[in-house]
Amino acid sequence: FVVPILALPAAAPRMDDGSCPPSQNWTEGQDETLRCSARGNPPPRLECTKHGEPFPAGVPHHVTRADAGTYHCQATNSLGTAVRSVTVWVHCEWRRGAGGLGGAGGVGGAGAH
How many structural domains compose the chain?
A: 1
Backbone phi, psi, residue 7, to 5°: -80, 130
Domain harbouring 40, CATH code: 2.60.40.10
Kindly state whether residue 111 falls inside one of the protein's structural domains.
no
What does DSSP assign to residue 106?
Answer: S
Query: Given this model, what pLDDT does residue 3 score?
Result: 67
pTM of the model: 0.75
Is 110 a member of any domain? no
Q: Which domain holds residue 44?
A: 11-91
Q: What is the pLDDT of residues 41-70, one digit of tens each?
A: 999 999 999 999 999 999 999 999 999 999
Q: 20 and 33 in contact (C-beta within 8 Å)?
A: no
Instruction: With respect to residue 64, please indicate whether it lies within any of the assigned structural domains.
Output: yes
pLDDT at 71 over 70: yes
Q: Predicted confidence band at 77 (pLDDT cuts at 50, 70, 90)? A: very high
